[in-house]
A = this chain, B = another copy of it.
């Protein structure tokens, strides 16, 4: 491999990448970036590092790698930090996550051990673990947000950073009912002052802190977090880009690749049954029906939106769709999904597809987070505030503005992403596809 992954783009400055939740995904990302910088790993899966763009004029295509046409922060200039509710450094956390091989982790241990989390935000209402002691205390939720803000500012200062992004990577939070206090920033801040557990989840406090600093915020999980009008209002006011929610990795990724193809061919759908077995902490959390409710909602909407029963009632008017997640310790961080897809064709003759996907959750998620950190930073520098719809490519439940339905189809999400990247690269953008 002749490509050098580091050293470019020094002029883009130094970027802090802060994780709320130092778990499998974040440690896999941190370890990976160190491995890549030292030449013992490759950033497979990262569009920012490997992908390209047509930067030609309409009709005369010209390919460029993103790293060559965008002013992305260099890997050498990323500085990692974060919060957790368990007091272990990134090396210990990565070891517990058991995603990466021991050999690689040992090699990277000196770098990883340096990363020690600040105490996180913990609320038993949203996370059923009962052995947590390492968390911030305060009179009201606003105090906790203040502590998060000063962690950030101090970290920027110490590390001579130009900017930072905050990525929420904690466990899926228990389902949270919508509340009127979510509707307006003033209502939300009132609830913050009252430390109202029925309204405000820990992830919202991180979001509030980051957004109030005008800092980009990414929700990697299915929790509601920033997806409430109150925080969107704050993001707009402070000029903070926002993206989420729920990284699109295994089964849903495949679904948003496969289903559009079946629809493009006008093949009918009778049923789609999706089961998952996984053995990591996420699997354990989702064994709790209350947490799974949050996730299931996120997973089920996808097919309806892509298949358009309204336009194709003969094909998609009454399919049965279900998703199950099962905790199966032997799988470890390897997530296996099995999909039974029952379709029908000419004269309603039935056919079927069975897909067994042996994937690795954190391996698929880490490069997405890397892209998001770099692209959100671009967005910030381009003064794009609020939900970044062009990043729908990365999420199971993409945030949109004003209740617009989200685009779920992977190939269309990529077209939108590329259009925006062309704009950010200063290329006189092509007209959007009329598809």
Contact = CB atoms under 8 A, between A and B. Distances in A.
Contacts of A409: 411
A347 B32 contact: yes
Contact of A266 (B44, B103, B359): B44
Contact of A431 (B58, B312, B336, B338): B58
B411 A264 contact: yes
A10 interface: no
Contacts of A51: 266
Interface string A223-235: 0000000000000
A277 interface: yes
A345 B43 CA distance: 8
A392 interface: no
A28 interface: yes
Contacts of A382: none
Q: This chain: how many copies in the complex?
A: 4
A347 B34 CA distance: 11
Contact of A322 (B45, B315, B326, B346): B326
A43 B346 contact: yes
A106 to B, nearest CB: 11
Nearest to A330: B271
A261 B254 CA distance: 8
A336 B346 contact: no
B338 A360 contact: no
A312 to B, nearest CB: 6
A198 interface: no
Nearest to A50: B266
Given A346-B43, A346-B45, A348-B42, A324 B326 contact: yes
Contact of A329 (B52, B265, B320): B320
Contact of A257 (B42, B257, B364): B257
A418 interface: yes
A172 B168 CA distance: 46
Interface in A48-68: 50-52, 54, 58, 61, 63
Nearest to A324: B326
Given A328-B320, A346-B45, A431-B430, A265 B253 contact: yes
A169 to B, nearest CB: 15
A363 B342 contact: no
Interface of A: 1, 3, 28, 32, 35-36, 41-47, 50-52, 54, 58, 61, 63, 100, 103-104, 253-254, 256-258, 260-262, 264-268, 270-271, 273, 275, 277, 311-312, 314-315, 319-320, 322, 324, 326, 328-331, 336, 338, 340, 342, 344-349, 351-360, 363-364, 366-367, 393, 409-412, 414-415, 418, 430-435
